């Protein structure tokens, strides 16, 4: 769990790769400084041909230039973060911080600065006195890094311009959320029945800190529950906020006459299996990706921005996620021991929750805009084609009725309301049969 938390943190840390680049630059400079190119070597024309003073001047110029470039890159990154936060959603900042291109570009610039600055200690100086001998190959390496930095600067500007486009932002969220849905959502032991309440003799294990429940490894809890002949139930879902001291895990045995399970064993297992952090992540939380797209649409519908088409685009991306969720098992997860006895219960979000999360807020904010309501009806209709059972279709049918009800209450012009009503009736027939 600790390694997983560190890995998740480092993937979003803007300093991690540049720190590695600094170390590699120092090692590369030290190695190249030991390489002496002979006068008759075929590589002689490729290395730096100037004097020691020329080399020092070159390294000083490269170092000073890279300081300016690094400041420019950091400034542009901050502007992109501010734009994403104010224009779209503050929950999108993680995507920019985790952008590998930004981290690599900054690493190249920092490595070039470090390499050039460290070279000033050896170029033209030996034993504290000036000398005409210097590692020409190492100075050539600084030139190579300078040209690489120039290419990376142009590429960074290109990438930054594309990364702050709303289409690219929403496509990235959709892609990341689809990966979570397909690879991280549990599929074993899923039931649509609500999680039963723990018995009165159950023991509550409190959360050791406040924050968001980021990941759960049920196999750790299952192993401890089987070994202790006990039942475990998680009190919160992944993505929920928990308060330190509130119940996080319930443990009990099948009968109050039995001795209670060892509390310390389960406290250790809970710390190993459940990770709580200060922010919400998308590692096992598909609802977080749906929330990000819904936030973009809601902010686009605010009077300060008034951009219904962006809301329609967000709904189009949400339709992809709902179509993927509609034919997957969703709900509470119950894990059993080899004898078939339920041992671990993990609460989960059902299809109705995802549909309301994707459509409810947008429906309420865009109820007076016919285009938004028509887009809502379209994604509900397209999702219905992927539904595998009547229960999911009933969820969609109820949402269609809510869309029609809100549209009738908010759209004043009959000519604007007519296509919404016609589409709602058509979609309702399709999803309800």
At which of 277, 301, 319 does a domain end? 277
Between 161 and 241, name the one with better pLDDT.
Answer: 241
- pLDDT tens digits for range 45-94: 778 787 878 888 888 999 999 999 999 888 888 887 787 777 788 888 77
- pLDDT tens digits for range 411-427: 999 999 999 999 999 99
Average pLDDT of the residues in 395-413: 95
Other CB atoms within a 10 A radius of the CB of residue 429 amount to: 12
Position 4 scores a pLDDT of 79
Position 82 scores a pLDDT of 81
Average pLDDT of the residues in 206-215: 94
Average pLDDT of the residues in 295-302: 93
Q: Which of 29-33, 203-207, 339-343 has the lowest mean pLDDT?
A: 29-33
Say how far apart CA 313 and CA 303 lie, in whole Å. 18
Structural domain count of the chain? 3
Give the model's confidence band at 128: pLDDT under 50 very low, under 70 low, under 90 confident, else very high: low
Position 319 scores a pLDDT of 96
> What does pLDDT average to over the chain?
90
414 within domain boundaries: yes
Range of the domain at 242: 190-277
Say how far apart CA 287 and CA 213 lie, in whole Å. 13
DSSP state letters, 266-324: HHHHHHHHEEEESS--SSS-HHHHHHHHHHHHHHHTSTTT--HHHHHHHHHHHHHHHHH
Position 131 scores a pLDDT of 62
Position 48 scores a pLDDT of 79
169 within domain boundaries: no
Average pLDDT of the residues in 316-327: 95
Flag whether pLDDT at 278 surpasses 60.
yes
Q: Which of 109-123, 237-251, 279-293, 333-347 has the lowest mean pLDDT?
A: 109-123
Say how far apart CA 397 and CA 56 lie, in whole Å. 74
User: 383, 326 in Cβ contact below 8 A?
Assistant: yes
320 within domain boundaries: yes
Position 317 scores a pLDDT of 97
Collapsed DSSP state (helix, strand, coil) of residue 326: helix
Are residues 300 and 269 part of one domain?
A: no
Are residues 113 and 142 part of one domain?
A: yes
CATH of residue 229: 3.90.1170.30
Contacts of 156 (CB under 8 A, 6+ apart): 73, 76, 101, 102, 105
Are residues 304 and 199 part of one domain?
A: no
119 within domain boundaries: yes
Are residues 11 and 155 part of one domain?
A: yes
Flag whether pLDDT at 258 surpasses 70.
yes
302 within domain boundaries: yes
The two tokens of residue 197 are 């309440």
Phi, psi of 79 (to 5 degrees): -60, -45
Average pLDDT of the residues in 319-330: 94
Between 201 and 9, name the one with better pLDDT.
Answer: 201
Give the model's confidence band at 24: pLDDT under 50 very low, under 70 low, under 90 confident, else very high: very high
Are residues 302 and 269 part of one domain?
A: no
Statement: the pTM of the whole predicted model exceeds 0.85 = yes
Position 396 scores a pLDDT of 95
Say how far apart CA 183 and CA 127 lie, in whole Å. 60
Are residues 305 and 269 part of one domain?
A: no
Position 132 scores a pLDDT of 65
Nearest to 60 by CA among 126, 139, 129, 134: 139
Are residues 306 and 226 part of one domain?
A: no
Between 5 and 397, name the one with better pLDDT.
Answer: 397
Are residues 160 and 50 part of one domain?
A: yes
Buried b / exposed e along 89-123 (16+ C-beta atoms within 10 A): bebbbbbbebbeebbbbbbbbbbbbbbbbbbeebb
Beta bridge partners of 251: 203, 232
Position 88 scores a pLDDT of 82
174 within domain boundaries: no
Give the model's confidence band at 218: pLDDT under 50 very low, under 70 low, under 90 confident, else very high: very high
DSSP state letters, 144-194: HHHHHHHHHHHHHHHHHHHHTSHHHHHHHHHHHHHHHHHHTS--TTEESSP
Position 126 scores a pLDDT of 57
- pLDDT tens digits for range 335-388: 999 999 999 999 999 999 999 999 999 999 999 999 999 999 999 999 999 987
Q: How far apart are the first and last CA of the chain?
A: 47
Are residues 119 and 264 part of one domain?
A: no
Are residues 55 and 194 part of one domain?
A: no
Are residues 217 and 129 part of one domain?
A: no
Position 127 scores a pLDDT of 55
Residues making up the chain, counted from first to last: 433
173 within domain boundaries: no
SS (H, E, C) 13-53: CCCHHHHHHHHHHHHHHHHHHCCCCCCCCCCHHHCCCCCHH
Average pLDDT of the residues in 159-187: 92
Position 324 scores a pLDDT of 95
Position 38 scores a pLDDT of 72
CATH of residue 368: 1.25.40
Say how far apart CA 303 and CA 81 lie, in whole Å. 22
Position 125 scores a pLDDT of 58
Are residues 428 and 303 part of one domain?
A: yes
- pLDDT tens digits for range 133-146: 777 888 888 999 99
Phi, psi of 233 (to 5 degrees): -135, 125
Flag whether pLDDT at 191 surpasses 60.
yes
336 within domain boundaries: no
């Amino acid at each position: 769990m600790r390694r997983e938390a560190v890995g998740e943190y480092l993937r979003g840390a803007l300093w991690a790769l540049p720190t590695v680049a600094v170390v590699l630059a120092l090692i590369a400079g030290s190695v190249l400084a030991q390489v002496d190119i002979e006068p008759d070597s075929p590589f002689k024309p490729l290395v730096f041909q100037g004097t020691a003073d020329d080399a020092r001047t070159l390294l000083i110029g490269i170092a000073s230039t890279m300081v300016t470039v690094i400041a420019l890159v950091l400034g542009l990154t901050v502007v992109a973060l501010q734009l994403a936060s104010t224009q779209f959603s503050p929950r999108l900042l993680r995507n920019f911080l985790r952008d590998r291109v930004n981290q690599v570009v900054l690493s190249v610039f920092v490595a070039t600065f470090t390499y050039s600055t460290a070279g000033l200690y050896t170029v033209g100086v030996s034993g504290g006195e000036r000398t005409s001998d210097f590692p020409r190959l190492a100075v050539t390496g600084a030139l190579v890094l300078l040209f690489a930095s120039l290419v990376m600067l142009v590429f960074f500007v290109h990438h930054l311009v594309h990364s702050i486009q709303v289409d690219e932002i929403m496509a990235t969220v959709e892609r990341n959320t689809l990966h979570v849905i397909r690879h991280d959502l549990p599929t074993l032991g899923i039931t649509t029945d609500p999680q039963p309440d723990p018995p009165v003799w159950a023991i509550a294990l409190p959360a050791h800190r406040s924050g968001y429940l980021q990941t759960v490894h049920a196999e750790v809890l299952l192993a401890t529950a089987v070994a202790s002949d006990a039942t475990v139930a998680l009190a919160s879902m992944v993505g929920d906020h928990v308060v330190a001291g509130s119940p996080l895990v319930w443990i009990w045995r099948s009968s109050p006459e039995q001795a209670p399970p060892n509390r310390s064993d389960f406290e250790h297992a809970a710390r190993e299996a459940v990770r709580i952090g200060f922010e919400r992540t998308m590692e096992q939380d598909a609802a977080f990706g749906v929330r990000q797209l819904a936030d973009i649409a809601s902010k686009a519908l605010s009077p300060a921005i008034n951009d219904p088409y962006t809301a329609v685009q967000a709904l189009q991306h949400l339709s992809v996620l709902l179509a993927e969720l509609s034919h997957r098992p969703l709900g509470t997860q119950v894990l059993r021991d080899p004898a078939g006895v339920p041992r671990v219960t993990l609460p989960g979000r059902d299809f109705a929750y995802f549909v309301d999360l994707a459509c409810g807020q947008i429906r309420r904010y865009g109820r007076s805009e016919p285009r938004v309501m028509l887009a809502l009806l379209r994604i509900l209709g397209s999702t219905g084609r992927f539904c595998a059972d009547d229960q999911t279709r009933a969820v969609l049918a109820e949402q269609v009725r809510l869309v029609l009800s809100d549209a009738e209450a908010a759209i004043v012009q009959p000519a604007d309301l007519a296509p919404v009503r016609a589409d709602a009736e058509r979609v309702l027939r399709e999803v309800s049969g």
